[in-house]
Amino acid sequence: MEELRAAIHVTSIVGFGIAVTMLVPAFANLAANEPSWTDFAGAAIMTAGGWAMIGIATAGARAKVSPRFGIILVNMLWWLIPLLSVAPLMIGPAKLTYVDAAFETVSGFTTTGSTVLTGLDSYDPGTLLWRSLIQWFGGTGMLSLGLVILPFLKIGGLQLFRMESSDRSEKVLPQFATIVKSITVIYVCLTLLCAIAYLLSGMSVFDAINHAMTTLSTGGYSTHDKSMGFFPNSSTLWVGSFFMLLGGMPFSLFVTLVFLRQKPRIDPQIIWYLVIVAGAAGLLFASRIGTGVYSLRSIAEDVFDVISVITTTGYAAGDYTLWGSLAVPLFFLLTFFGGCAGSTAGGLKIYRLIVLVEMVRSALREIVHPNGVFPVRYGKQRVDPAIFRSALVMSVSFAGVLAICTLVLGAQGNDLITSLSGSVTALANVGPGLGTEIGPSETFTTLPDSSKVTLAAAMIAGRLEIMVVLVLFMPLMWR
Amino acid sequence: MEELRAAIHVTSIVGFGIAVTMLVPAFANLAANEPSWTDFAGAAIMTAGGWAMIGIATAGARAKVSPRFGIILVNMLWWLIPLLSVAPLMIGPAKLTYVDAAFETVSGFTTTGSTVLTGLDSYDPGTLLWRSLIQWFGGTGMLSLGLVILPFLKIGGLQLFRMESSDRSEKVLPQFATIVKSITVIYVCLTLLCAIAYLLSGMSVFDAINHAMTTLSTGGYSTHDKSMGFFPNSSTLWVGSFFMLLGGMPFSLFVTLVFLRQKPRIDPQIIWYLVIVAGAAGLLFASRIGTGVYSLRSIAEDVFDVISVITTTGYAAGDYTLWGSLAVPLFFLLTFFGGCAGSTAGGLKIYRLIVLVEMVRSALREIVHPNGVFPVRYGKQRVDPAIFRSALVMSVSFAGVLAICTLVLGAQGNDLITSLSGSVTALANVGPGLGTEIGPSETFTTLPDSSKVTLAAAMIAGRLEIMVVLVLFMPLMWR
């Protein structure tokens, strides 16, 4: 199939680029006098070589820009690249099995942040840096996806946030390049600012670089087992909170502010995003006052952990399962929320929640006045029902896949809390789950391999807003 | 407000009728030589007297048949009657506190079946009979609601199942009476058949009568702590399975078969209902084979428990939390499902699940072929998008209220499993929850009073398909 070959060709170019960056951890370990630098160099050569051959084999394939091609391309990119970029964690000092390496790499590229590694503090810098790098790459991938590709495919109601009213034609490609370029500049600049701020808050240079990459991408990999709880200064938590909050905002806002120098229109999802964060952190702190165990740092921890979960980053500033009985259900629900559309965050996304609430309000009004007309609005904007419907459909698909995933994990021998919270955290790309096995102070290492495979697939499906993966199962797609 | 007074007047008539039936447990205890028969007689006099006074106070109030009046009436009926029919459980031998009596009575009228009573086997016949009676009344209430009232209010997409294409006018009342009469006849006959079948399977007369009433109403109150697990013959479980299955089917089907003597059109929800039951029971039995502990009776238990949960009855034939790791997530998910629209079952209802799946399929097709037209169908029928939307909106409201209810229960000090499963089981009117406190072999007695109040409110909201209660919070309703 010509379209598949063309998609694989594009994927091989991106994959090759990522393989080259495996030299970064090689240099890091060389600088740290770790002999394992050669492992990373080997991984880079091996992976880049593999992609080069795939690229040559698929050279010359051409495909018209079409929804079908878009779907195939996006799937190839997000399935093949993580699954074929496992060498650094297999040959490198981590010496993981294929399943573990694939789980960790998928969790990285999808910016989920669930990990199978323990004893992070004693790992070589190369391995830690590689984990941060793939999350950072995953973040750019997500931005392009949410701001350009999915709106073009009219998936999940994201067309509401299209940067420009582009029709579906070949001229989408140059636009794509321009938007991606300006987003990348902003992403790089914010990451640098974040690293400097972390440094000033007392982090080491190495920690600051790593955490800046996994903060802006809302990924959540840390260089310490205690995650952000490792750092004693509350200022570190405030820096993290601020930049995670930015990572969960629509990057089109920053593009408008910086490149177009326009006053952006008020986007209701941003307002609700901030309201929900403030409300949840307030509730959480009230719940901690109820336990009697709290301090000034608790406020920083509460704000940090709420933002960490709602932006689907997944850092932990402490074990919130100990923070009063409200904390666990609150974090469980926040896991679904996600940040704003057009950000690096996963989850259902705030604007979809707004759409759902508005639809219910409109339906309730119609019950009282059956002959009245109550259009669904997004803010003051009256929006095409088709867009709302596609936002709704994504939420329904999320629930359906969540149900199936929970059943599968249950059948694989996990308890209900592990199955349910593991599925949610994977599909929403958050990171930590709940319960004794995969809770915020645990890792995913004790799960059976079959469950790791299930969760890795859920992470990719979640990253692609479910629909892009589900559509592969439609016979119509292959006719 | 004239409409409110008229609604309370109608409620007082129904309430009076129910108060008179408190004489049934009085006679039962008189026959059993229990001196407590006077308590039930007293409860009847007290409650009937109270309703009579309310009735006199509101006499002469007139209201036009309108959606607003319908909403107020339904709310008055389902909130006031349970909350004011608590005397038998407070003055009678059970001697419950008001909160416990209200919880048990609400759980009865809403046919939920969650109980705060332990040691059922040693209770007086009057108390047990009263619990069965209110579930049986609740069942008729639900049938009228689902087949006549909610379709008239165009709530939750139920207008798809309207018995006749009635426009919103005064002539709805005689129709209402005709439909309710034929449904009642069928309901009474099925209950009698069920009681006879239970008797033949080896139950005592008293147990057969009680369980027949709580089977057809898909209520789930039992006269034994071990619920249906008390009865040694597998045939009892098969009888129960069969009649619960009927209770979860649309009663309009029986009306068409018996009174109109027509061949009913094939309703996709019935087919999927049977497919889901067979599939879930099969999965469950496979999971039990995996544990190595199973017998011939296991098949009866598996089928029985699946039907018990999907029809939102809530009997247990055994503790399914011990039946392999798949069982708990499977039952958790089945709790959401519910039976068919127009039955006595609660939950989301199968036809809404069909609508959700069809909407996703149609949206997926549109992604591949953006210019194609893929109407959403129910079976072969192409249905008005407004009806689908209102089915969808109910599901979204269910999820939203579930989230809030879980948070409230969490804040009241319950763990996540109790908060989440308790909320689902109450909103879907199933009965048992999960976990160490409210699991299938436990009761709700240990929960704090505040949580019992929360759950009772959730049961009523769930019984009224959420929307009828939510609409009370719309300012438009009161203008």
> Which residues in A lie closer than 8 A to residue B332 (C-beta atoms)?
406, 416, 420
Q: Is A476 on the interface with B (CB under 8 A)?
A: yes
In the predicted model, is pLDDT for residue B169 greater than 60?
A: no
Per-chain mean pLDDT for chain B: 91
Round to whole Å and give the CA distance between A424 and B81. 40
Average of per-residue pLDDT across B292-305: 91
Q: What's the pLDDT at B166? A: 40
Nearest CB to A332; choose among B356, B413, B416: B416
Q: Can you give the length of chain A in residues? A: 479
Q: Please answer yes or no on whether A368 and B477 come within 8 Å at the CB atom.
A: yes
Q: What's the pLDDT at A173? A: 57
Q: Is B154 on the interface with A (CB under 8 A)?
A: yes
- Domain assignment present for residue B124? The answer is yes
Per-residue tokens: B295: 């017998």
Contact predicate A432/A123, CB 8 Å = no
Burial class (CB in 10 A: 0-12, 13-18, 19+), A101: buried
Q: Please answer yes or no on whether B393 and A363 come within 8 Å at the CB atom.
A: yes
Map residue B378 onto helix, strand or coil.
strand
Round to whole Å and give the CA distance between B406 and B455. 10
Map residue B136 onto helix, strand or coil.
helix
Nearest CB to B333; choose among A326, A363, A403: A403
A144-177 pLDDT, tens digit each = 888 777 877 777 777 766 554 344 444 555 667 7
Q: How many other CB atoms are there within 10 angstroms of residue A160's CB atom?
A: 21
Distance from CA of B284 to the nearest CA of A (A): 10
Q: Is B415 on the interface with A (CB under 8 A)?
A: yes
Q: What's the pLDDT at B266? A: 80
The DSSP code sequence of B280-304 is: HHHHHHHHHHHHT---HHHHHHHHH
Q: How many other CB atoms are there within 10 angstroms of residue B64's CB atom?
A: 10
A231-254 pLDDT, tens digit each = 999 999 999 999 999 999 999 889
| Cα-based angle B67, B68, B73 (whole degrees, multiple of 5) | 95
- Domain assignment present for residue A170? The answer is no
Q: How many other CB atoms are there within 10 angstroms of residue A35's CB atom?
A: 10
- Domain assignment present for residue A227? The answer is no
Phi/psi zone of residue B347: left (φ > 0), alpha (ψ -120 to 50 degrees), beta?
A: left
Total tally of structural domains belonging to chain A: 1
Round to whole Å and give the CA distance between A253 and A266. 10
Strand blocks (E) in A265-366: none
Q: What's the pLDDT at A171? A: 52
- Domain assignment present for residue B104? The answer is no
Per-residue tokens: A214: 């996994």
Nearest CB to A410; choose among B71, B329, B467: B329
Average of per-residue pLDDT across B242-269: 87
What does each C-alpha distance from B346 to A69, B82, B139, B387 come to in angstroms?
44, 17, 10, 19
Q: What's the pLDDT at A75? A: 95
Nearest CB to B410; choose among A330, A361, A471: A330
Distance in Å from the first CA to the final CA of chain B: 11
* Tokens 């790992």 found at: A123
Q: Is A404 on the interface with B (CB under 8 A)?
A: no
Q: What's the pLDDT at B164? A: 44
Round to whole Å and give the CA distance between A133 and A226. 20
Reference A134, options A247, A24, A258, A47; nearest CA is A24
> Which residues in B lie closer than 8 A to residue A364 (C-beta atoms)?
467, 470-471, 474, 476
In the predicted model, is pLDDT for residue B92 greater than 80?
A: yes
- Domain assignment present for residue A40? The answer is yes
A367-387 pLDDT, tens digit each = 888 888 888 888 887 878 877
- Domain assignment present for residue B31? The answer is yes
- Domain around A30: 1-95+115-165
Reference B180, options B149, B211, B214, B225; nearest CA is B149
Q: Please answer yes or no on whether B154 and A367 come within 8 Å at the CB atom.
A: yes
Average of per-residue pLDDT across B18-24: 97
- Domain assignment present for residue A69? The answer is yes
Contact predicate A24/A76, CB 8 Å = no
Contact predicate B475/B355, CB 8 Å = no
Q: Which residue has better confidence, B124 or B384?
A: B124
- Domain assignment present for residue A85? The answer is yes
Question: What percent of chain A is modeled with pLDDT above 90?
Answer: 70
Q: Which residue has better confidence, A474 or B167?
A: A474
Per-residue tokens: A67: 């929804």
> Which residues in B lie closer than 8 A to residue A390 (C-beta atoms)?
363
